Amino acid sequence: MKFAAQFSVPRIDVAAYQSALHSHMSDMIAQAVLSWLEAVLAEIPVWSGASRATFKKLADSISYSIPIAPTVMDRTGRGEASSDGGVVANKETGEYSFTYSTTLPWLIWNEYHNANVEPDPTLFGRLIKEGPYNFQVVGARAFLAFADKVDLLPVAPYVKAERLKT
């Protein structure tokens, strides 16, 4: 009696999987930023454009155009100069994140206060939309709702069986 056997060993194409995963996660973080921005911008009214312009650097990092049409003086430059933001999509470290920060005084004040009732003495004007804006909470909710639906790519398409020579 003769018996023949064929052995196969699974091999993962790690480089191909990492490339596909990087592309997928880069798309996912961009979509997460978009979800965050859309939720946040719904809370920020346009008056001089400065508050909305603080989100421009982050929006630019995903090629998103923020609608800003000041109804009074144009202070979009002040908003851009008072902020920072961007996306990190690092294949080597596996970090996919985004940042936003601002030092624009009235946006910070209006985030936490109703300036029509509790005005900052260094600021001016009555709010079109009363604060507190709470845009950080709204943005976090939108981000988490999106992130909860994100999955890693399946590994199965990158697994191949190699025959062992016997």
Tens of pLDDT, residues 25-74: 999 999 999 999 999 999 998 888 999 999 999 999 999 999 888 888 89
pLDDT of residue 5: 76
CA angle 26, 155, 29 (to 5 degrees): 15
Is the pLDDT assigned to residue 164 strictly greater than 80? no
pTM for the model: 0.85
Lowest average pLDDT, out of 4-8, 45-49, 92-96, 155-159, goes to 4-8
Tens of pLDDT, residues 17-26: 999 999 999 9
pLDDT of residue 141: 98
How far, in Å, are 6, 9, 74, 81, 93 from residue 158 at the CA level?
22, 14, 53, 46, 21
pLDDT of residue 116: 78
Tens of pLDDT, residues 62-121: 999 998 888 888 999 999 999 999 999 999 999 999 999 999 998 998 899 888 777 777
For the chain, give every domain's residue range.
11-150
**Confidence band (pLDDT; 50, 70, 90) for 123?**
low
Q: Which residue do the tokens 């002040």 mark?
A: 78
